[in-house]
Amino acid sequence: METSLDDLFSEAIAAIRSAQPAAVTSPVWYRSRGLALIHAETGVLLGNFTEYLHRGQPGSRRLVREDPPMPVEATETLSGSWWTGSDEPPTSKRAWHESRLATLALEFRTLGVSSPSAAVYAVFGEGCLTRVELAADTLLARPGSSLSELVILPAGTDVIRDLSRATINSLLTQLGQPL
């Protein structure tokens, strides 16, 4: 027997409604709004919560964490970490994009050239290395070649795709980043 998509959808909605937290069905608590809680000191989003207000006690509220996406009508910030139940506070806010200067030897895989020392900007996006840009015009040579086999790449060139694995590992180690 085949089940239509409409039947499957209806069953899924019924299952979701039956899995609602107890606060939803309680006559004492009523749903107020959706909140996004943010840790004040670090700027970390702690999660989305549904706020329930108590009918008999004005000012009393219950926050229930919501895992599936939900409409957020307001944001609130919290301070400290006593409410986490853990000795560790939330991790600090970190820039999603940062650029750091490093000087190291460069080896290129497909070009077959290298430089004994070059300045580069390592660009990290959300903690991952996304670009390696030359900080200045860079002179590269094929190992053991004459001066007639030189390559000059201009400053700002993103060279991450052609760098050898050893060069990338050396860069990450120098900047104290995990390999």
For 42, counting Cβ atoms within 10 Å of its Cβ (0-12 exposed, 13-18 middle, 19+ buried), the class is middle
Instruction: Give the pLDDT confidence score for residue 76 in this predicted structure.
Output: 80
Predicted confidence at residue 25, as pLDDT, reads 52
pLDDT tens, residue order, the chain (179 aa) = 566 767 777 777 776 666 555 444 567 888 888 888 887 777 767 778 888 888 888 888 888 888 776 777 888 877 776 666 666 656 655 567 889 999 999 999 888 889 999 999 999 987 789 999 999 999 988 877 766 678 889 898 999 999 999 999 999 999 988 87
Longest Cα separation, the chain: 88
Instruction: Specify the pLDDT at position 87.
Output: 62
Q: Which residue has the tokens 């957020």?
A: 72
pLDDT at 23: 46
Give me the pLDDT at residue 149, please.
72
Cβ pair 132, 163 in contact under 8 A:
yes
Calpha distance 178→147 (Å, rounded): 37
